[in-house]
Structure 1
Amino acid sequence: MIQLTKLNGKVFSLNALYIEVIESFPDTTITLTNGHKYVVKEPEQEVIDKMTLFYRNINVLSVSKGSEVLEHE
Structure 2
Amino acid sequence: MIQLTRLNGRPFSLNALYIEVIESFPDTTIKLTNGHKYVVRETEQEVNQKITLFYRNINVLSLRKSSEVFDDE
Unmatched runs of 5 consecutive residues or more in structure 2: none
Q: Does 1:66 align with 2:70?
A: yes
SS of 2:53's equivalent? Answer: helix
Residue type of the partner of 1:9?
A: G
How many residues are matched?
Answer: 67
1:40 alignment partner in structure 2: 40
* TM-score, normalised with respect to structure 2: 0.87
Shift of 1:28: 0.0
Shift of 1:65: 3.3
Percentage of pairs with the same residue? 78
Shift of 1:66: 1.3
1:70 alignment partner in structure 2: none
Over 6 Å off, 4+ runs: none
Query: Which one has the bigger helix percentage?
Result: 2
Unmatched runs of 5 consecutive residues or more in structure 1: 68-73
For residues 5-32 of structure 1, give each alpha carbon's deviation from its aligned partner in whole angstroms, at most 9, with x where no partner exists: 0000000000000000000000000000
Residue type of the partner of 1:32?
A: L
CA RMSD in angstroms comes to 1.2
Q: Distance in 2 between matches of 1:20 and 1:11?
A: 21
Q: Which has the larger radius of gyration?
A: 2
